[in-house]
Amino acid sequence: MAENNITKIVSFCRRRGFIFGGSEIYGGLSSVWDYGPLGAIIKKKIKDIWWKTYVEEKEDIVGLDSSIIMTEGVFKASGHLDNFADWLIDCPWCKRRYRIDKIEKIDKDLYKCPDCKKDIDAAKNKPRQFNLMFKTNTSATEDNPYYAYLRPETAQGIFINFTNVLNTTHRKLPLGIAQIGKAFRNEVTTGNFIFRMKEFEQMEIEYFVHPDQAQKYYEYWVDERFKFYTEKMGLNKEKLRRRQHSKDELAHYAKACTDIEFNFPFGWSELEGIANRGDFDLTQHSRVSKKDLAYFDNATKQKFIPYVIEPSAGVDRTFFSIICDSYHEEEVKGKIRVVLKLKPNLAPYKIAIFPLLKNKPELVSLAKNLFYDIKNKLPAFYDDTGAIGKLYRRQDEIGTPFCVTVDVDSLTDKKVTIRDRDTMQQERVAIDEVFNFVDNKLG
Ligand code: ATP
């Protein structure tokens, strides 16, 4: 099949209710997207799997849910107020605005407009710096404002709660604090769908360690997170790679950083960054807040500011990579079959149940009974609103691993036909055995 292009993926996501444009009926809002019914299910599954893997299954990580709105001091300390800015340039011909680091430089001071392809002369159209944070007024009155910011990453909520968590959980280092939540950046984008949004969701761990152990844990987390994408999200290894940042590319706080990149329809791009942030954040917050955020090791009687390793993943980019990787078009009997080859743990429904004929009440009732029985054990879907071929296609498109058809023979032999999404092979299985059959195959 031809490579999945972005237009195809966007229209597929819209058509099947995965993702809609933000504020769509009012003309839309650039780089803001809403997740529809099926998108919301997959997105929640991604987050649940991440949370289970790290907060529930690891003994050295605890969870947190800190606020989105934070006071100015937090971002003075973190460096976001001074450094979290992009250099933007306007095309004088088509009037579009771009990040200067994302467009082609063709000569000294000369850039190529990605849209109208004309030259932009940076000497005449001076680039301007633009802070990415959303500022808001938390006071009740306009004339006596109190400014705060929507967090541009969930990480800062973790740093400022470091001693709260330590003191209330009585943990020792190494200790990870994990958080899933929304982050906001006033990004200038070039239409890469949910890759770059103004409102998005992150899954971040700040893993606090003794400085001597930072390198070891940095390497551990790069490997661990790579494995998560292949083993838990089912992404194809060939479409993933690690990319280590060069020294001049590192963010102001980082000692080292490796991106995990995915081969999106527009090329290799960051899915997640794993950084060794050193002691930058805790040192800064100690200095600006004047609260001591150092750690005291009872065993060695040593007091120090821990280093932190940060695996920082985007929920939306993970979602996007999963859709791109699992979307397939296959030719079946002269027609194109669209099938979403999702890893079953991410499929919105694990099983769909249909009566072969919807005008036969006995079949409808048998199919519905089976549906109500299974529904309590597995996410299931019942449908009788079309011919059987159409019902199969609908489920293939949303990645349902198994479809069950109840036919006239089912009334006497008490068996149904189970069809596999990927192979399209069909098997006859006793009604009482449907759950076990599917459950075994899902593993
Ligand atoms: P980029 O270089 O693509 O702008 P970044 O290096 O600024 O990304 P980080 O600050 O490292 O990104 O954020 C960690 C993760 O959060 C990213 O790997 C990505 O998955 C996600 N993320 C960051 N910005 C956005 C955004 N605007 N829209 C969607 N996801 C985002």
Beta bridge partners of residue 242, listed in sequence order: 260
Q: What is the reported pLDDT for 188?
A: 81
**Which of residues 289, 324, 359 is at a domain's end?**
324
Distance CA 280, CA 288 (A): 12
Residue 20 lies in a domain: yes
Please write the tens of the pLDDT for every residue from 54-103. Answer: 999 999 999 999 999 999 999 999 999 998 888 999 999 999 888 898 89
**Mutation pick for ligand 1 pocket among 185, 317, 321, 322 (CB with most ligand atoms within 8 Å):** 317
* Mean pLDDT of the 153-169 span: 97
Task: Give the side-chain half-sphere CA count within 13 A for 249.
Answer: 11
Q: Does 4 score more than 90 pLDDT?
A: no
What's the gap in Å between 270 CA and the centre of ligand 1?
7
Distance CA 414, CA 240 (A): 46
* CATH number, residue 429: 3.40.50.800
Q: For residues 405 and 425, state if they share a domain.
A: yes
Q: Cβ < 6 Å from ligand 1: which residues?
A: 153, 185, 187, 196-197, 200, 202, 270-273, 312-314, 316-317
Q: For residues 288 and 161, state if they share a domain.
A: yes
Q: Does 242 score more than 60 pLDDT?
A: yes
Whether the model pTM is above 0.85? yes
What's the gap in Å between 405 CA and the centre of ligand 1?
44
Range scoring the smallest mean pLDDT among 53-57, 247-251, 424-428: 247-251
Please write the tens of the pLDDT for every residue from 362-420. Answer: 999 999 999 999 999 999 999 999 999 999 999 999 999 999 999 999 999 999 999 99
Q: For residues 137 and 127, state if they share a domain.
A: no
Q: How many CB atoms lie within 10 A of CB 422?
A: 11
| C-beta of residue 272 within 8 angstroms of C-beta of residue 278 | no
Q: For residues 145 and 17, state if they share a domain.
A: yes
Q: For residues 17 and 127, state if they share a domain.
A: no
pLDDT band at 3 (very low <50, low <70, confident <90, very high): low
Q: Does 295 score more than 80 pLDDT?
A: yes
What's the gap in Å between 213 CA and the centre of ligand 1?
26
Q: What is the reported pLDDT for 190?
A: 66
Q: For residues 167 and 198, state if they share a domain.
A: yes
Q: Does 189 score more than 80 pLDDT?
A: no
Residue 398 lies in a domain: yes
**Which of residues 274, 308, 324 is at a domain's end?**
324
Domain hosting residue 371, numbered range:
349-442
Q: Does 2 score more than 70 pLDDT?
A: no
Q: What is the reported pLDDT for 101?
A: 87
Q: Does 119 score more than 60 pLDDT?
A: yes
Distance CA 340, CA 9 (A): 11
